[in-house]
Homo-oligomer: A and B are copies of this chain.
């Protein structure tokens, strides 16, 4: 059975050596000294290792069951959920006014990685609740907030997000769920929603569904959509639970992975709903928290890859098979450990350099969200909005690829469920699909984010890369990282130029290259992160602070990424510059 240990040292390095958070002007960051963050992350790591990770395989094997309208979660989930609640982990970055601990989103993100890596399916019950909490926190009336938020912060009540219907996912304008206004100001919600994570389960007293539906008078398309609070049990004015609402689970889905999370078909049969936010502004309300939600999925991508990597590494050090081509390294044993073989090493370095780079990018993204939310910093808001499709799309594509790569290290054993490597790959697969499939992320990036606010955010990104290179090119030790980054950044600029020039004439020319651009930009982002990490590692080495082996390993891993992954940028550029013709040459009928 796989195990998991929280990479606290790596996280501390990013928080303190790279982001230098205590010196930041973000309100709340000055409290986050090394001792404090280490204590929080280590305690989260203990819960993850001892409580959550052992349930990961259980959840996969047992799945959730539906009987007479009741969904049962896997053995042990209920007890573990109590541990999470009692430890205050569900309240970490929530508003203190509603019982939260008020820590920055960055800390919630770091702790979130630990819990997701240990047990992604389990962590979704809390993760979805946090999303619903955020939507009510931003859009709710004072009464709604007082009524729902304290119980959601504590996860006594959990939350859901209801968007998809059988005939529409991405194109929500086609939605059929209706909201009929009632004389008392409430609405009757009628329709069917699918793919509802944590839609029904036995972990909470109540479930607060947030449901998109069309109210009369708003027309037919996406602009008719409003957002409603639909509790499983009506909450009375005194906060106690009243009647069962007319919402029920139709079935639970059989999925490739995340079996421990109940993915439900939800039926609303004239259920009582309360308008959340403005009428006909449901999409805006639902997507207010989109940056956080998508960053959270991008985090899942690399967090599962981290867990898979840890187990592949342990196997590669333990399993004796073959001899090093340069001579035996374990001469007294019957064979050398797998890790002596260059192609195994390549595979492990691919995983390691991706996961650590993605962690840095995600933490930086969370830091930008803190700047945006806590300081109303428009530049940070613009930059993170630009990068969100990359964090979501690139990191989940690579996360799945790396989970499969980790599986490969185990050979045949990687294909056997008891070893747990298959589960990592199967669980990671969903991250490429939900919260906006990755093709939609690419469309968002190229079709919307690049040109947003006159293109100033992407120009700011280029400036940031250029200035970092300029400020540091005097340091010869960074050359192996900066030169490939400079090349990659220029390739990204050339791609942007191609889109501007050819996209005017033919929008398909830009969209045909959107997926490649998302990956190209992902590599540039990770190249920048690695250059920043290498710089921080050299600084610590120069200062004689920190663990020399650890810092040297960071630098070597960064050089690997620059040498072996940034060359992908030229390929993506070549594909982009081939334009729309190769992609669109065949008529649909000719397929």
Q: A residues engaging B (CB < 8 A)?
A: 164, 167-171, 174, 194-195, 253-257, 313, 317, 320-322, 325-326, 334-335, 337, 339-349, 352, 400, 404, 407-408, 411-412, 414-418, 422, 425-426, 429-430, 432-434, 437-439, 442-443, 447, 506-508, 511-512, 514-515, 549, 552-553, 556-557, 559-560, 563-564, 567-568, 570-571, 574-575, 578, 580, 582-586, 588, 590-591
Cβ of A443: which chain B residues have Cβ within 8 Å of it? 341, 343
Given A422-B256, A432-B408, A560 contacting B585 (CB threshold 8 A): yes
Given A349-B583, A586-B553, A591-B352, A514 contacting B343 (CB threshold 8 A): yes
Kindly identify which residue among B549, B568, B580 contacts A342, using a CB–CB cutoff of 8 Å: B580
**Contact in complex: A564, B590 (CB < 8 Å):** no
Between A334, A412, A507, A590, the greatest number of chain B beta carbons within 10 A of the residue's beta carbon is seen for A412
**Contact in complex: A575, B583 (CB < 8 Å):** no
**Contact in complex: B411, A400 (CB < 8 Å):** no
Given A411-B433, A584-B345, A567 contacting B563 (CB threshold 8 A): no
Cα–Cα, bound, A342→B346 (Å) = 34
Q: Which residue of B lies closest to A564 (CB)?
A: B575
Cβ of A571: which chain B residues have Cβ within 8 Å of it? 567-568, 570-571
Taking the closest CB of chain B, its distance from the CB of A173, in whole angstroms, is 8
Given A253-B416, A343-B512, A416-B255, A567 contacting B556 (CB threshold 8 A): no
Cα–Cα, bound, A325→B514 (Å) = 13
Q: Which residue of B lies closest to A401 (CB)?
A: B401
Cβ of A588: which chain B residues have Cβ within 8 Å of it? 317, 337, 339-340
**Contact in complex: A582, B559 (CB < 8 Å):** yes
Taking the closest CB of chain B, its distance from the CB of A438, in whole angstroms, is 7
**Contact in complex: A433, B412 (CB < 8 Å):** yes
Cβ of A256: which chain B residues have Cβ within 8 Å of it? 415-417, 422, 425-426
Cα–Cα, bound, A433→B426 (Å) = 16
Taking the closest CB of chain B, its distance from the CB of A260, in whole angstroms, is 15
Cβ of A506: which chain B residues have Cβ within 8 Å of it? 326
Cβ of A580: which chain B residues have Cβ within 8 Å of it? 342
Cβ of A164: which chain B residues have Cβ within 8 Å of it? 412
Cα–Cα, bound, A255→B564 (Å) = 33
Cβ of A553: which chain B residues have Cβ within 8 Å of it? 586, 590-591
Taking the closest CB of chain B, its distance from the CB of A237, in whole angstroms, is 38
**Contact in complex: A342, B514 (CB < 8 Å):** yes
Q: Which residue of B lies closest to A407 (CB)?
A: B429
Cα–Cα, bound, A466→B347 (Å) = 33
Cβ of A574: which chain B residues have Cβ within 8 Å of it? 567, 570
Pull 21 A–B residue pairs with CB atoms less than 8 Å apart, ordered by A. Answer: A167-B320, A168-B321, A171-B321, A171-B335, A174-B334, A253-B416, A256-B426, A257-B415, A313-B591, A326-B506, A337-B588, A341-B439, A343-B515, A349-B583, A352-B591, A404-B429, A556-B586, A557-B586, A564-B578, A567-B570, A570-B571
Cα–Cα, bound, A433→B410 (Å) = 9
**Contact in complex: A439, B567 (CB < 8 Å):** no
Taking the closest CB of chain B, its distance from the CB of A334, in whole angstroms, is 6
**Contact in complex: B411, A170 (CB < 8 Å):** yes
Q: Which residue of B lies closest to A578 (CB)?
A: B563
**Contact in complex: B342, A438 (CB < 8 Å):** no
Kindly identify which residue among B411, B417, B578, B590 contacts A254, using a CB–CB cutoff of 8 Å: B417
Taking the closest CB of chain B, its distance from the CB of A325, in whole angstroms, is 5
Cα–Cα, bound, A255→B412 (Å) = 10
**Contact in complex: A343, B511 (CB < 8 Å):** yes
Q: Which residue of B lies closest to A256 (CB)?
A: B422
Cα–Cα, bound, A308→B437 (Å) = 18
Cβ of A515: which chain B residues have Cβ within 8 Å of it? 343, 346-347
Q: Which residue of B lies closest to A340 (CB)?
A: B588
**Contact in complex: B411, A430 (CB < 8 Å):** no
Cβ of A415: which chain B residues have Cβ within 8 Å of it? 255-257, 429-430, 433
Cβ of A586: which chain B residues have Cβ within 8 Å of it? 345, 349, 553, 556-557
Cβ of A430: which chain B residues have Cβ within 8 Å of it? 415
Cβ of A412: which chain B residues have Cβ within 8 Å of it? 164, 169, 194-195, 433-434
Q: Which residue of B lies closest to A574 (CB)?
A: B567
Cβ of A433: which chain B residues have Cβ within 8 Å of it? 408, 411-412, 414-415
**Contact in complex: A326, B255 (CB < 8 Å):** no
Taking the closest CB of chain B, its distance from the CB of A441, in whole angstroms, is 10
Cβ of A590: which chain B residues have Cβ within 8 Å of it? 549, 552-553, 556
Taking the closest CB of chain B, its distance from the CB of A28, in whole angstroms, is 35
Kindly identify which residue among B418, B447, B563 contacts A582, using a CB–CB cutoff of 8 Å: B563
Given contacts A342-B511, A343-B442, 10 further A-B contacts (CB under 8 A): A164-B412, A254-B416, A255-B415, A255-B417, A255-B422, A345-B512, A412-B434, A415-B429, A553-B586, A567-B570
Cα–Cα, bound, A282→B399 (Å) = 41
Cα–Cα, bound, A447→B439 (Å) = 39
Given A195-B412, A256-B417, A590-B552, A559 contacting B575 (CB threshold 8 A): no
Taking the closest CB of chain B, its distance from the CB of A160, in whole angstroms, is 15
Q: Which residue of B lies closest to A506 (CB)?
A: B326
Cβ of A422: which chain B residues have Cβ within 8 Å of it? 255-256, 429
Which are the 3 A-B pairs with shortest beta-carbon distances? A567-B574, A256-B422, A342-B511
